Amino acid sequence: MSSRALKHFRFGKIFGFIRRSTSSRRQQIRQVRELYLKTDLVTKGCILCSGENFSLLAECDRYGFDLNKQICDDCGLVQTYPALSQSFLNEFYENHYRKLYTKSLDVDYAKFSEEQEEKGERFLGFLNTAISGQSLSNFSIIEIGCSSGGILNYLSAHCKAVQGCDLDANAIQFARDTHSLNAEVAHFPSTIPSGPKIFILSHVLEHVPNPKDLLHRIRSAMTPEDYAFVEVPGLNIVADGSYSNDLRSYFHIAHVADYTASTLASMMTSCRFETVTCDETVTGLFKRSENSEGEVVKSPGDSVGNVLKIEKTFRVFGSKKST
């Protein structure tokens, strides 16, 4: 009998097999699966605390990929483990991600603009509240993973300057041509402006195989007056109706880790950041901490029991599942 914590059959291997064989995306799914079956998975321990004790949650993701979603018993971070390698992820993002997500290789960046500008508006409200007493117009914004630049374009009217980078060359071209943005194809910005800065990582950190490397790099480019804004899809808000309360829809091959407010704060603390504010959506603002790297402390809320509590909110055919 499986020791999987999420007992429902839709988290199991057989359901995964059926899902990936019958999906309208089955061609794309087969190509991605072939790629990771020939790539070695990584078993170097938890990406947050390096621990090697995990509890198995699920054996498939939303597309039916047979990957394990596990929770680290030591720090409580939910992650794909064994993990997908950097070489797999490079090829996945370059050749497969868009096709899998949108069923098409052609990307209509103009269509994303509205969604990105709405995010920009939301981020503006969040930042103005979080840095209360200071004016955003004194800050330069640097977005890592800016895609086609909709967020930066919205924020540009409210800040001193904006700039961005992304690995998607077509998105960067769109950002330059359509929004006349200072945007470059790069992992990390080649120049950092002087004066007060806010780094933005919007739906980036959950995709990065070594989040600590990226966070260390950002921290070293920051002064004590600067901020890092991080948003990732929150695990706990699945219980409030995100992803239709379905953890299987939330579990995604492209997500290296699945964060709560406390596991994101732990990740940031471990990279010498301090939390200004962080909620369960998960959206947070962080500053440099001058303390040395602390030990990762597990929050009691980040447990198998919490994941089971989220699953209890799942509804089948509109009626609450009996428990």
Binding test (CB under 5 A) with Zn ion, winner from 49, 237, 238, 257: 49
- Cα gap 5→310, rounded to integer Å: 12
Contact 66, 59 (CB under 8 A): yes
| Beta carbon of residue 207, minimum distance to Zn ion (angstroms, whole number) | 19
Task: Using the rule CB under 5 A, give the single segment among 69-77, 81-89, 109-117, 241-249 that binds Zn ion.
Answer: 69-77
User: Is residue 232 involved in binding Zn ion (CB under 5 A)?
Assistant: no
Nearer to Zn ion, 72 or 200 (CB): 72
Task: Using the rule CB under 5 A, give the single segment among 26-34, 74-82, 238-246, 279-287 that binds Zn ion.
Answer: 74-82
| Beta carbon of residue 1, minimum distance to Zn ion (angstroms, whole number) | 26
Query: How many residues in the shown chain lie near Zn ion by CB under 5 A?
Result: 7
Residues 6+ apart with CB under 8 A from 212: 47, 48, 267, 270, 271
Per-residue tokens: 205: 């950190």
| Beta carbon of residue 70, minimum distance to Zn ion (angstroms, whole number) | 10
Among all chains, which residue has been given the structure tokens 């804004």? 229
Task: Using the rule CB under 5 A, give the single segment among 41-49, 104-112, 204-212, 222-230 that binds Zn ion.
Answer: 41-49
- Cα gap 7→238, rounded to integer Å: 18
Binding test (CB under 5 A) with Zn ion, winner from 5, 6, 48, 238: 48
> In DSSP terms, which residues pair with 277 in a beta bridge?
285
Nearer to Zn ion, 48 or 278 (CB): 48
| Beta carbon of residue 108, minimum distance to Zn ion (angstroms, whole number) | 39
User: Is residue 254 involved in binding Zn ion (CB under 5 A)?
Assistant: no
Report the C-alpha dihedral over residues 75, 76, 77, 83, rounded to 10 degrees. 80
Count of other CB atoms within 10 angstroms of residue 83: 23
Kind of pairing between the strands at 183-185 and 161-166: parallel
Nearer to Zn ion, 53 or 129 (CB): 53
User: Is residue 265 involved in binding Zn ion (CB under 5 A)?
Assistant: no
Distances (CA, A) of 219 to 46, 56, 226: 21, 33, 9
Nearer to Zn ion, 42 or 167 (CB): 42
List of residues contacting Zn ion (CB under 5 A): 46, 48-49, 51, 72, 74-75
